[in-house]
Each structure stands twice: as structure tokens, then as C-alpha cells.
Amino acid sequence: MNNLSYVIVVKSSPFDSQAVRSAYLFAKSLCESKHSLKQIFFMQDGVLIANKHNVVASDECHFAQMFCKLATAHNFSLTLCETAATIRGISLDNLCEGFSLDGLGQFSKVMLQTDRLISF
């Protein structure tokens, strides 16, 4: 089987859905395989993951930290839709380290250079 390149899109809120956990586990599996992950793009309520003012209880997963650690170890980007972030009060001032803001145009360019798009 050929090695494929992937982009993951996360649209669900980290507070009320299993989708963020599933996206993380899928990304981790890709990183442990021979396939490559180019980017995780957060849009709609998915951008809420990257607000550095989120308070995470000690018995809950800190997904922002988990995604950052994985992205650093495997060299892929964590990008938020700038419009969705702005609408939800996220800016460079309160953005978690390791995440960046960009538009759908740049996301489209990355998408055109990958084999598969997976959405959560």
C-alpha cells in the first residue's frame, strides 16, 4: 500500500463531543504509521480548543497540550480558521502556543497537496 498524506479537520467543540478525542487518536495513529499528516485544521467550534484561558480539570484531557506535543514530535501544523476564531473571541493574544491562525485559502492550498481529508 502506498504512503498517503492526510489533513484532519476538527469542527466540534472540545467541551461537548467525543470528536476531538477521536481526531487526536486518529492523528496519533497516522503518526505511528507510514502515512504522513500535513495539518490539523480547526474550524467552527473546533477552534475553542486553542483558547489559552480554557480551564481543564485535573481529571480531564488537555487536548491543546496533547495536540501540540504530537505536532511538535511529528512536524505538522495546528491551524485555526481565522474567521471562526475571531467570531469566538480567539486572537493572537489568547491563542495557545503551538497553534496558528490562517484562512480557508491557505487551508485549500494544503488540502490540494494531500491525498485524504478526514473530518471530525
| pLDDT at 59 (0 to 100) | 81
Query: Per-residue pLDDT averaged across 70-98, rounded?
Result: 97
Residue 78, pLDDT > 70, answer yes
Q: Give the chain's domains with CATH numbers.
A: 5-119 (3.40.1260.10)
96 is catalytic: no
pLDDT per residue as tens digits for the range 45-69: 999 999 999 888 888 888 999 999 9
H/E element holding 36?
Answer: strand 36-42
Higher pLDDT, 62 or 99: 99
Cell of 119: 473530518
| pLDDT at 17 (0 to 100) | 77
Cβ neighbour number for residue 75 with a 10 Å cutoff: 10
Query: Considering 31, 61, 81, 96, which one is annotated as catalytic?
Result: 81
48 CB contacts (<8 Å, ≥6 apart)? 13, 14, 15, 54, 88, 90
**16-20, 41-45, 69-73, 90-94 — which is least confidently predicted?**
16-20
Residue 1, pLDDT > 70, answer no
